[in-house]
């Protein structure tokens, strides 16, 4: 399977998906290794992950190089790698607390006492996307490992260059080696994985997510899906326009808009619309494409070639229906074999344009004025998606009352787009954003645990 | 749709499943009513359920009469109705604690504070089985209502007589009326329900459960399935034989074995096998069929006619392969038009007999000797099912170490079969017992809640 470089459009790498038989052999061994892993206890597992962290640190440059080649961008790559380190530490803390031994406790039946225990699923399958190849391949993997499961990860075939480096780091941690495997492959390998694992975690497009749900159903296993978004922000009349424009721009164009929590719809009160727009346009025009070099600017290439056509189609549809270009370009620019979009601001947009209803995954900012807050809320909630959103307001009471009416799993107040990384709260699926549990907070660990109770006839046992 | 009386085999009742259009109209109204229900807060919802409890108490005799006709048995019916009362109280307490206002708390990012909130799914669908028609129609319904959802329940068409009475009680509680509906119908109505609800809870057979999973997948909604079991008990050499035989007999023949947690496999240490068997047989022979009247004995009829053929087939298969009858009958007895099995004890059983591998749902007790505990554990865990189990031992350490090795969601120690009702612990699906969360403990309420976080730029908000 040949892989393109997103900066050059050239085939530059090849991956070798395992055969169904090889995959079966591998997962059989992992199931064996998992028995000891689960038994060894939380402190042992934390130590193994900490040892891994040290090795990743040694390979940090190689990992960053590979990820830069995978994605064509640098700044987000460095953040991504750094985040893995803090992530291991924070998950270690959460899981250490979670596994503190539970005491036996009374039940409502006088002679019965209760003891709660947890048993991890043996083998967790993770199918992760190309937009943050490292971070999203680990977001479920780390808590699953700490829960005591073995984990087999299949990152997207669009950005698979980092797998080789990461697998090298795993090979240096004997305690982890048997229970963690990164495998290369495409859709076929992903489907095979659904047949071999006890539970499947997927993040990616809605259409592939629906296929994964079907595979999980066919194989009668639980499934966790995190899919598309069309995240909106509301900017009220009282908002700090300087702060709002900077944060929203950042929340829309980071990683060239290729994040599930990227802001893709901007609703601004009509009284500040023009002022907001002019500041947003001015700031957007200051950003540069990261071309010819990764350091030349802030906006990297579109990683998935398939996405280029989707974004172009959404733009064309918008312009045909009357949208006006205020910054950026009317369509994708091909530079040196890669595909780029400048931060692109549209006005005169309506909700019958694809750009306002479908996930874009590009640095496109459609801005619409609203008359009153009821209308703005209605616009926000008209979407079929419900991952995240944001609100900017100068008044806390106003901000929170708006936030509470937005139908999505996370709302940022007076900032944008950090919802995927805060373990102090838990986010779950709204509307067709997904199926199943959260990926932040302690419930993430519980996803990978079967709950088992002992109902003990205490009177009898104590007599013995 | 005509319904048979399980004691007479006669059609005695008729149900009228709503058309797809009627059902749609009903659920549309429920969705509207749910908005206020969710907003009204936990104390309001608790009050509404307490008011309902008072009305059910008034209709208690009618409800018991209807359930007796549905199931042909009385003792379990009275317990079932009583359990509903304690269940409402206990869920009220659990949910009151759960909804205590959460405070804003810091995150690991200095300027960001976090607030957690919950939003109930609008409309929960419950599809419940015939073996405990009332209890199992409410096991998810009560916590879902307390969570703030509206709930539409479709009990099994095999035991639907109680629906009319229960709906009468609901009609007398105006606050509940809009958000709780019991509907009559069979498989078709169940499928329709999957298209109209946001989340579906099903308890019943594995084959129907797999169909429900497919419907949930087609409609892209979350699903919770509780399916079949083949629950085993281990009796060690040190067990109190009097206690063990009484408890196991009770755990096998209550409700004529028609419980998902009924004990269906008995493994006894070879040194006490004969002694155990003779006491078990003696006690089993003392039990009488509840015929000609419901008060004539302890063992009521088989409620589902379909199940009669399944049990007969399992027995025939066992005898053909060498099983020996020690008590009870070689096949179902037809008495007055109803179908009955006496407590039936088999020895000389092997794991290639259906009676040792497939769910029976009848008062059949296959007993097998084991040589050492490793063998016993292997026998227990050889099943494809993993709901519950039990262990009897005179030594606490031995009992707990065996319990910990049994692959199932709940293990009773020195008693049998109360696992479905203890909210102090949480039980989740092992193996193909099911998909999704627990039905006991606080997580049951969480099943019906979407988790939403507010990520608040505290610095900014406080400046305002």
- Mean pLDDT on B172-178: 97
Do B433 and B376 belong to one domain? no
Q: Residue B462 falls within a domain, yes or no? A: no
Task: Note the pLDDT of residue B102.
Answer: 72
- Which of chain B's residues have a Cβ under 8 Å away from the Cβ of A440? 453
Whether the CB of B65 is below 8 Å from some CB of chain A: the reply is no
Residue A79's contacts (CB-CB under 8 Å, 6 or more residues apart) are: none
Task: Note the pLDDT of residue B390.
Answer: 96
Do B120 and B220 belong to one domain? yes
- Mean pLDDT on B42-71: 97
A414, A422, A429, A442: best mutation site toward chain B, by most B Cβ within 10 Å? A414
Do B129 and B82 belong to one domain? yes
CA atoms within 13 A on the CB side of A110: 0
* Nearest Cα to Cα of residue A464 among B240, B134, B337: B240
Whether the CB of B243 is below 8 Å from some CB of chain A: the reply is yes
Do A192 and A295 belong to one domain? no
Whether the CB of B413 is below 8 Å from some CB of chain A: the reply is yes
Q: Residue A132 falls within a domain, yes or no? A: yes
Length of chain B: 464
Do A220 and A257 belong to one domain? no
Do A30 and A143 belong to one domain? yes
Q: Residue B93 falls within a domain, yes or no? A: yes
Phi, psi for residue A29 in degrees, rounded to 5: -65, -40
Q: Residue B60 falls within a domain, yes or no? A: yes
At residue A432 the predicted structure's pLDDT band, cuts being 50, 70 and 90, is confident
CATH number at residue A414: 3.40.309.10
Mean pLDDT of all residues in chain B? 94
Phi, psi for residue B2 in degrees, rounded to 5: -90, 140
Q: Which domain holds residue B313?
A: 231-421
Q: Residue B408 falls within a domain, yes or no? A: yes
pLDDT in tens, B284-325: 999 999 999 999 999 999 999 999 999 999 999 999 999 999
Catalytic residue among A68, A194, A201, A260: A260
Phi, psi for residue B16 in degrees, rounded to 5: -125, 85
Do residues B212 and B200 touch, judged by C-beta distance below 8 A? yes
Query: A211-225, A301-315, B167-181, B421-435: lowest mean pLDDT where?
Result: B421-435
- Residue A79 CA to residue A56 CA, distance in Å, equals 14
Catalytic residue among A76, A80, A113, A226: A226
- Mean pLDDT on B17-43: 97
Do A377 and A272 belong to one domain? yes
Task: Note the pLDDT of residue A418.
Answer: 64
* Cβ within 8 Å, pair B220-A213: yes
pLDDT in tens, A117-160: 999 999 999 999 999 999 999 999 999 999 999 999 999 999 99
Do B143 and B243 belong to one domain? no
* Cβ within 8 Å, pair A116-B453: no
Q: What percent of chain A has pLDDT over 70?
A: 98
Task: Note the pLDDT of residue B360.
Answer: 97
Task: Note the pLDDT of residue A344.
Answer: 98
Q: Residue A462 falls within a domain, yes or no? A: no
* Cβ within 8 Å, pair A422-B86: no
Task: Note the pLDDT of residue A460.
Answer: 55
- Which of chain A's residues have a Cβ under 8 Å away from the Cβ of B194? none
Q: Residue B464 falls within a domain, yes or no? A: no
* Torsion sign, CA atoms B141, B143, B144, B149: positive
Mean pLDDT of all residues in chain A? 94
Do A411 and A433 belong to one domain? no
Task: Note the pLDDT of residue A419.
Answer: 59
- Mean pLDDT on B157-171: 97
* Cβ within 8 Å, pair A222-B435: yes
Q: Which residue of B has its CA nearest to A455?
A: B412
Query: A123-132, B68-77, B258-267, B420-429: lowest mean pLDDT where?
Result: B420-429
Whether the CB of A429 is below 8 Å from some CB of chain B: the reply is yes
Chain A nearest-CA distance from B451, in A, is: 5
Do A211 and A121 belong to one domain? yes
- Which of chain A's residues have a Cβ under 8 Å away from the Cβ of B238? 464
* Cβ within 8 Å, pair A455-B415: yes
- Tell me: pLDDT of B199 over 90: yes
pLDDT in tens, B436-453: 878 888 889 999 999 999
Q: Which residue of B has its CA nearest to A395?
A: B464
Higher model confidence: residue B118 or residue B461?
B118
Instruction: Show the 3-state SS of chain A.
Output: CEEECCCCCCEEEECCCCCHHHHHHHHHHHHHHHHHHHHCCHHHHHHHHHHHHHHHHHCHHHHHHHHHHHHCCCHHHHHHHHHHHHHHHHHHHHHHHHCCCCCCEECCCCCEEEEEEEEECCEEEEEECCCCHHHHHHCCHHHHHHHCCEEEEEECCCCCHHHHHHHHHHHCCHHHHCCEEECCCCHHHHHHHHHHCCEEEEECCHHHHHHHHHHHHHCCCCEEEECCCCEEEEECCCCCHHHHHHHHHHHHHHHHHCCCCCEEEEEEECCCHHHHHHHHHHHHHHCCECCCCCCCCCECCCCCHHHHHHHHHHHHHHHHCCCEEEECCCCCEEECCEEECCCEEEECCCCCCHHHCCCCCCCEEEEEEECCHHHHHHHHHCCCCCCEEEEECCCHHHHHHHHHHCCCCEEEECCCCCHHHCCCCCCCCCHHHEECCCCCCCHHHHCCEEEEEEEEEHHHHHHC
Task: Note the pLDDT of residue A463.
Answer: 46
At residue B419 the predicted structure's pLDDT band, cuts being 50, 70 and 90, is low
- Mean pLDDT on A389-412: 95
- Tell me: pLDDT of A222 over 80: yes
Q: Residue A112 falls within a domain, yes or no? A: yes
* Torsion sign, CA atoms B282, B283, B284, B288: positive
- Which of chain A's residues have a Cβ under 8 Å away from the Cβ of B393? 464
Whether the CB of B178 is below 8 Å from some CB of chain A: the reply is no
Q: Is B119 a catalytic residue?
A: no
- Mean pLDDT on B254-260: 94
Task: Note the pLDDT of residue B421.
Answer: 65
Task: Note the pLDDT of residue B70.
Answer: 96
Chain B nearest-CA distance from A145, in A, is: 19
Whether the CB of A301 is below 8 Å from some CB of chain B: the reply is no
- Residue B437 CA to residue B183 CA, distance in Å, equals 24
Whether the CB of A92 is below 8 Å from some CB of chain B: the reply is no
Task: Note the pLDDT of residue B461.
Answer: 53
Length of chain A: 464
- Residue B459 CA to residue A276 CA, distance in Å, equals 22
- Tell me: pLDDT of B239 over 90: yes
For the record, the structure tokens of A98 come out as 């979670």
Q: Which value, in Å, is the radius of gyration of the alpha carbons in chain B?
A: 24
Task: Note the pLDDT of residue A464.
Answer: 43
How many domains, chain A?
A: 2
- Tell me: pLDDT of A427 over 70: yes
- Tell me: pLDDT of B462 over 60: no
Do A324 and A380 belong to one domain? yes
Do A413 and A449 belong to one domain? no
CATH number at residue B124: 3.40.605.10
- Residue A46 CA to residue A88 CA, distance in Å, equals 9
């Amino acid at each position: 399977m040949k892989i393109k470089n997103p900066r050059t459009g050239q085939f530059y790498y090849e991956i070798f998906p395992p055969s169904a038989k090889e995959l079966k052999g591998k997962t059989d061994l992992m199931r064996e290794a998992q028995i000891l892993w689960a038994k060894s206890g939380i402190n042992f597992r934390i130590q193994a992950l900490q040892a891994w962290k040290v090795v990743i640190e040694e390979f940090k440059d190689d990992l960053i190089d590979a990820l830069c080649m995978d994605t064509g961008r640098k700044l987000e790559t460095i953040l991504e790698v750094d985040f893995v380190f803090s992530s291991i530490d924070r998950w270690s803390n959460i899981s250490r607390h979670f596994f503190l031994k539970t005491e036996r406790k009374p039940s409502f039946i006088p002679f019965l006492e209760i003891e709660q225990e947890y048993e991890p699923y043996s083998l967790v399958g993770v199918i992760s996307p190309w937009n943050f190849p490292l971070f999203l391949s680990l977001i479920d993997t780390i808590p699953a490992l700490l829960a005591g499961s073995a984990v087999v990860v299949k990152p997207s075939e669009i950005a698979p260059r980092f797998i080789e480096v990461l697998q090298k780091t795993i090979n240096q941690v004997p305690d982890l080696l048997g229970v963690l495997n990164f495998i290369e492959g495409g859709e076929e390998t992903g489907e095979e994985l659904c047949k071999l694992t006890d539970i499947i975690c997927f993040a990616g497009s809605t259409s592939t997510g629906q296929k994964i749900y079907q595979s999980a159903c066919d194989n009668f296993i639980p499934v966790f899906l995190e899919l598309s978004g069309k995240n909106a922000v509301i900017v009220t009349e009282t908002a700090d326009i300087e702060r709002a424009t900077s944060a929203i721009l950042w929340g829309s164009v980071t990683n060239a808009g290729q994040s599930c929590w990227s802001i893709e719809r901007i609703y601004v009160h009509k009284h500040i619309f023009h002022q907001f727009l002019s500041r947003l346009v001015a700031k957007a025009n200051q950003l540069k494409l990261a071309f010819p070099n990764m350091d030349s600017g802030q906006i990297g290439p579109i990683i998935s070639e398939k996405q280029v056509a989707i974004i172009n189609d959404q733009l064309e549809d918008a312009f045909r229906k009357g949208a006006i270009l205020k910054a950026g370009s009317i369509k994708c620019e091909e530079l040196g074999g890669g595909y780029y979009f400048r931060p692109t601001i549209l006005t005169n947009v309506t909700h019958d344009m694809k750009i306002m209803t479908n996930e874009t995954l590009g640095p496109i900012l459609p801005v619409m004025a609203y008359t009153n807050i009821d209308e703005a809320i209605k616009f926000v909630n008209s979407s079929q998606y419900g991952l995240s959103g944001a609100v900017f307001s100068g008044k806390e009471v106003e901000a929170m009352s708006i936030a509470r009416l937005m139908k999505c799993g996370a709302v940022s107040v007076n900032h944008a787009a950090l919802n995927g990384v805060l373990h102090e709260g838990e986010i779950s699926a709204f509307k067709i954003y997904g199926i199943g549990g959260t990926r932040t907070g302690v419930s993430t660990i519980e996803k990978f645990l079967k709950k088992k109770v002992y109902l003990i006839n205490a009177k009898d046992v104590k007599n013995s």
